[in-house]
């Protein structure tokens, strides 16, 4: 199983990398949505490289919202593998986006048990 971790905070990526490695997953990282988009082949019909994508909603530059919109336009099937993480569900734009997206949202700080349940549902046994 392969996961792409997208977060502008190196400490968050490191903690998640350790968690997924203990679970036996291969881990790739990106520090923003643009770098993630570069790692995701958005060419229609190309093989899907990741079983799960965990992406911070709020990042400078190309945010999780921007990544969601880019995937929506180019490879909507990848949205089934996208989980958004955020500590901000109160600002109007974040709250509106969270309400209208079909992607699961992890509210930071989150329990690893919740993340484990999502990774097995989405990446391990659910949509694949």
Q: What CATH number did the domain enclosing 83 receive?
A: 3.40.50.2300
Give the pLDDT of residue 124. 62
Q: What is the count of structural domains for the chain? A: 1
Give the pLDDT of residue 17. 97
The structure tokens listed for 30 are: 């990106």
Q: In what order do the strands lie in the sheet with 2-6?
A: 26-30, 2-6, 52-56, 82-86, 105-107
**121 CB-contact burial (10 Å; exposed 0-12 / middle 13-18 / buried 19+):** middle
Domain of residue 65 covers 2-126
CA distance 20 to 42: 24
The structure tokens listed for 79 are: 């949205």
pTM of the model: 0.91
Q: Which residues of the chain have pLDDT under 50?
A: 125-128
């Amino acid at each position: 199983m392969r996961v792409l971790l997208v977060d502008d905070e190196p400490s968050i990526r490191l903690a998640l990398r350790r968690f997924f490695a203990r679970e036996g997953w291969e881990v790739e990282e990106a520090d923003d949505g643009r770098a993630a988009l570069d790692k995701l082949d958005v060419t229609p019909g190309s093989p899907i490289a990741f079983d799960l994508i965990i992406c911070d909603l709020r990042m400078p530059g190309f945010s999780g919202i921007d990544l969601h919109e880019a995937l929506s336009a180019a490879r909507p099937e990848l949205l089934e593998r996208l989980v958004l993480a955020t500590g901000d569900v109160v600002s109007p734009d974040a709250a509106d986006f969270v309400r209208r997206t079909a992607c699961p949202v992890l509210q930071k700080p989150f329990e690893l048990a919740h993340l484990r349940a999502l990774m097995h549902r989405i990446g391990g046994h659910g949509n694949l």
